[in-house]
A and B are shown apart, each in its own frame.
Chain A
């Protein structure tokens, strides 16, 4: 049973910390409200609308697509980097071919204007 005591203590601290901080801030804050205070915090910019029913531009999808593709392809770079020494020239040439194709795709996306916000 003794080995569970640290967990018990940890749980008690974890639960009490937010409760106590909320109670303290409630006790010492000034009780004035105005509408600006109720708005979501957006780095000083006045929010344009409610967060959940904003329709945002379909252009974000294009950016998302490009991001997903180029981001996930790097998953091959990690195993290659870890095994770089063992894979020798073979792995190096394979990776050059792979990166060559990726760079060509990047140039294509660039020249086609996919990176421009229109």
Chain B
């Protein structure tokens, strides 16, 4: 029997993977994938809670999250394309002209 806890643990694992990945990785494309992991973790939560409560608001919001994640990925890819055209790299730590 799959309970709500299973979904919550799955989403927690995905969320943690995403956040840790964001912190330790420096490849822009990997970072983009980590962002997707985090958003999808939240989406899983919304759908699981929504199913448990027997109400569709969470599922509707999940649809919005999917489109927002797509828009975010599109912007991220756009920034990557511009970065490659300018500097021929997708490594973020090579972009460091400013302090900090």
Q: Mark B54-70, 1 if CB is under 8 A from A, else 0.
A: 00000010010011001
Contacts of A76 in B (CB 8 A): 63, 67
Cβ of A60 to closest chain B Cβ, rounded Å: 10
Q: Which residue of A lies closest to B80 (CB)?
A: A61
B84 within 8 A of A: yes
B74 touches A58 (CB 8 A): no
B20 within 8 A of A: no
State A72–B63 Cα separation when bound (angstroms): 10
Contacts of A94 in B (CB 8 A): none
A65 within 8 A of B: yes
A68 touches B73 (CB 8 A): yes
B81 touches A79 (CB 8 A): no
Q: Which of A61, A71, A73 contacts B81 (CB 8 A)?
A: A61
Cβ of A24 to closest chain B Cβ, rounded Å: 42
A72 touches B85 (CB 8 A): no
Q: Which residue of A lies closest to B63 (CB)?
A: A75
Q: Which of A58, A69, A73 contacts B84 (CB 8 A)?
A: A58
Q: Which residues of A contact B (CB under 8 A)?
A: 58, 61-62, 64-65, 68-69, 71-73, 75-76, 79
Q: Which residues of B contact A (CB under 8 A)?
A: 60, 63, 66-67, 70-71, 73-74, 77-78, 80-81, 84-85
